[in-house]
Chains A and B, each alone.
Chain A
Amino acid sequence: MIRRQQTLGERLEERGISRRSFLKFCTTTASLLALPPAFAPRIAEALESQRRPSVIWLSFQECTGCSESILRAGSPSIESLIFEAISLDYHETLQAAAGHQAEAAREQAMAENMGKYLVVVDGSVPLGNPGFSTVAGQSNVETLKRVAKGAAAVICMGTCSAFGGIPYAKPNPTGAVPVSEIITDKPIVNVPGCPPIPAVMTSVIAHYITFGSLPELDDLGRPKVFYGQNIHDRCYRRPFYERGQFAQSFDDEGAKAGWCLYKLGCKGPTTYNACAVLKWNEGTSFPIEAGHGCLGCSEPNFWDKGSFYAPLSTATELGSGTVAAGVLAGAVLGAGAGYAGRKMQEKGKAGPFEAPPVADAGQKENS
């Protein structure tokens, strides 16, 4: 793999990337992480001088979309720079080694960096039949436990490893679970999205390299700086929402005028991600800008939250069956109550009008 004697700066120069570009990357990363600009040189220094941490990338039940997302770039992407800062010792798709050689490389990296290497996981882990997903005869769950044991932290790339994703969706035939259900004794960073935004991952790794720690996380284990706000709050179509201007279909005048897609099922209001700010394909666009509502792909269980095209404010389980059952149960109770009430009315009619005096009551007892 990559020689370790050179610094990052030297290697970048070799590859024709100017120091100016590198510093710009560091500044961007700092701002993405919501750090003051003064941290940019520190990030640069850290990336240049630190010994590159070993990274082991495990792929389980996944589609490789997450890897694709990070690697796919028209021009030399600034994101790919990050691979210069780390030692990617194992990645089934990317590594040149194959077969036992590949596994051996992983074992070696683990042994050399015990307790210090990072594990990146994409894909969910099947707990059903181990045969659903194995690598080199080893089930995913075994591999994960084994590799995570000596890791400094686990980064879950994509919704599948973070929250289970599509394999986890009902009926979940493989018994898939997110990483966090298996690994409980290591710091875990969730970088959900289907796929996640590349800059998010690079920023997380940059943070780790710079500060030796993970960025601040929210209650779902996601870096707050990227997942702290929902798409709706940052969406350029928000004014249309405020005015109640909603596209009714994907080809009506409202849609053409760029009105809010809430009615067409947009999950922007409940989806916490940075898509509306960072966008995709080097800031070109994001789904809402392309004319389709947000699917909420970076949220847990996004596949099971009803139709992608049903507005957020609709009921998901209420239906005519509920109403019919209610009418039936109500009719039974009502008929019973009505009958009981009638009996009480009749009871009232049956008795004498006046309360019997004490003397009368006494006589009754005597007779």
Chain B
Amino acid sequence: MTLLDFARGPALQGAAFIFVVGMVWRALGLLLLHRNTPLSRNRDNHLARHGFRTVLSRFIPAPVFERRVSFQYVAGWIWHLGFFVVLLFFKIHVMFFQGLLGFGWPTLPNGVVVAVAGITLGVLLWLLGRRIVNPVLRYISTFNDYSSLVVTMLPFITGFLAFAHYGFAYETMLALHILSISLLLVWFPFSKLIHVITLLPSRYILGVKFWRRGVQA
């Protein structure tokens, strides 16, 4: 079995299995915990709607914080969007999903995807640098933060090399690319990357908390 066979076969299968196990495990474990419900009277009677509004409003910083945090919101936006564009709209990736799901969807030209991937990787590298240099981030950063960042960057790096046929042979790079994705999948449910399922509910929870008290959060 070659490295590519391993990557495309057991590695991806095992990683996907662990990913699904971990995500379901954590989601269910969180959902089953006791949840405190307040007894005092609400000021607001449309909590679900308003909670959802907070989910949306937190995608951009409040005006008063713009000067201080806009750049990191923007950086976050760029790389998250870039990640999804590259993941979902690169021709070869869609082939992958088509092989998996049985259907495909329109894609973007390679030139566009390469540019987006470049920008995304650039932003990720900059965020890594910032995490090391910025005193607050350096102080609060843990292994979880650095590793998650690196594990997220690896598929971009290996993907670039595979696409450009640079470094090792194509099948080795492709294998490394798939292995880096496997690593990301395995790392995902056990790291802060879990925020993919907790972040929006967390906003909703806070939204309900504040709206209940008559405060637009």
Contact = CB atoms under 8 A, between A and B. Distances in A.
In their complex, do chains A and B touch, with some C-beta pair under 8 Å?
A: yes
Interface of B: 1-2, 4-5, 8-10, 12-13, 16-34, 91-93, 95-96, 98-100, 107, 109-111, 113, 165, 169-171, 174, 178
A241 B79 CA distance: 26
B12 A317 contact: yes
Interface of A: 230, 232-233, 242-244, 246, 262-263, 269-270, 300-301, 305-306, 310-319, 322-323, 325-327, 329-331, 333-335, 337-339, 341-342, 345-346
Given A334-B27, A334-B29, 19 more contacts: A232-B170, A233-B170, A243-B109, A244-B109, A311-B92, A313-B96, A318-B12, A318-B100, A322-B20, A326-B18, A329-B21, A330-B20, A333-B25, A334-B24, A337-B25, A338-B29, A338-B30, A342-B33, A345-B33
Contact of B29 (A233, A243, A313, A337): A337
A269 B27 contact: no
Contacts of A345: 33-34
Nearest to B113: A244
A326 B110 contact: no
B21 A230 contact: no
B74 to A, nearest CB: 28
B164 to A, nearest CB: 9
Given A244-B109, A300-B2, A323 B99 contact: no
Contacts of B18: 326
A310 B170 CA distance: 17
Contact of A311 (B1, B95, B109): B95
A262 B90 CA distance: 14
State the 5 A-B residue pairs at the shortest beta-carbon distance, nearest first.
Answer: A338-B32, A330-B24, A334-B28, A326-B20, A314-B99
A301 B5 contact: yes
B159 to A, nearest CB: 10
B83 to A, nearest CB: 18
B109 A326 contact: no
A325 B19 CA distance: 11
A230 B171 CA distance: 10
A335 B10 contact: no
14 contacts: A233-B165, A243-B110, A310-B99, A313-B99, A315-B16, A316-B5, A317-B8, A318-B12, A322-B13, A330-B21, A333-B28, A337-B29, A338-B33, A342-B33
A315 B19 CA distance: 15
A317 B10 contact: yes
B15 to A, nearest CB: 9
Contact of B13 (A230, A242, A262, A315): A315
B19 A326 contact: yes
A317 B13 contact: yes
B96 A315 contact: yes
B92 A341 contact: no
A221 to B, nearest CB: 15
A246 B107 CA distance: 11
B170 A313 contact: no
A244 B17 contact: no
Contacts of B17: 322-323, 325-326, 329
